[in-house]
Amino acid sequence: MIAQNVGFWIIAVLMVVSALRVVTTNNVVHAALWLVVVLAGAAGQYILLAAEFVAITQVLVYIGAVMVLFLFGTMLTRARIGAESDLNNSYKKLGIPVGLVMLVAMGLALTRSFGDEKLPEASKVVSTLEVSDQIFGPYLLPFWALSFVLLAAVVGAIVLARKD
Amino acid sequence: MFVNQFLFLAAVLFCIGVYGVIARKNAVLMLMSIELILNSVNINFLTFAMRNGSTDGHTFALYIIAVAAAEVGVGLGLVLLVYRNKKTISVDDLSEMRG
């Protein structure tokens, strides 16, 4: 348990620092690379939460596919490979109070609702078998809908980005 | 491990993502902030799945990952289209719908 706690805090600090860098850095490519750190940290947290299949999917889909899309997007829109000064709104200071108010509200609600409640100690790793039984059992209809969403997204992206 | 330590991490990431969506002008960076928000939601789902000892949260986390992938695909297609027509991806310059 102590090892898991130490792992949690190391990964959590790393994730928060990298997330702050994603929203503050002046370089689009650097932002994408910091985002990789956040996503990898999230995969680590999923493993701590006994969700191995979701963690593997996170690495494959996010770090593998989505990051490549982001880097292609920055290249195709000819962002300068280097620092840019024109990435933020003029009213970006407004975001700080909004974020802080939301954080305080959520923090109060969480402390009040869950207090010192602990996660179950000896929870076993959720196997891929159980997850697939869920997806292809009671949640089959959303799975079908999701397949259509992905198909529509693929077709839509091609139609949008094609040169006529 | 407390339930709250995971939920607080998710809350912090969510707020950083919201700040990013508000503060950024570049469309690609806004999409990255949205990814931060979606990831914090996933951490919440898995925390509650472990707390309640069920696997429903895992299913929905996987669905969120798939929807996020579709969203990034269409979003970047839109960004490319805007760039091709306007030679900029700054969302402040897209003001045709202002009356």
**Residues B42-84: tens digit of each pLDDT:** 999 999 999 988 889 999 999 999 999 999 989 988 888 888 8
A1-84, which class in CATH? Answer: mainly alpha
Contact assignment for A22 to B20 by CB distance below 8 Å: yes
- The band of A124, judged by pLDDT with boundaries at 50, 70 and 90, is confident
Domain ranges of chain B: 25-90
Whole-angstrom distance, CA of residue A51 vs CA of residue A59: 13
Residues in contact with A156: Cβ distance below 8 Å, sequence separation at least 6, in sequence order: B73, B74, B77
**Residues A131-148: tens digit of each pLDDT:** 999 899 999 999 999 999
What mean pLDDT is reported for chain A?
88
Most B CBs within 10 Å: which of A2, A9, A54, as the mutation test of the B interface? Answer: A54
Q: How large is the average pLDDT for residues A154-164?
A: 83
Contact of A57 with chain B, judged by CB distance below 8 Å, is answered with yes
Contact of A149 with chain B, judged by CB distance below 8 Å, is answered with yes
Q: Which of A69, A14, A64, A23 is nearest to A42 (CA)?
A: A14
* Structure token pair of residue A162: 């094609």
Whole-angstrom distance, CA of residue B85 vs CA of residue B75: 16
Q: Which of B62, B83, B55, B70 is nearest to A73 (CA)?
A: B83
Identify the CATH number of the domain defined by range B25-90.
1.10.287.3510
Contact of B17 with chain A, judged by CB distance below 8 Å, is answered with yes
Contact of B79 with chain A, judged by CB distance below 8 Å, is answered with yes
Q: How large is the average pLDDT for residues A65-90?
A: 79
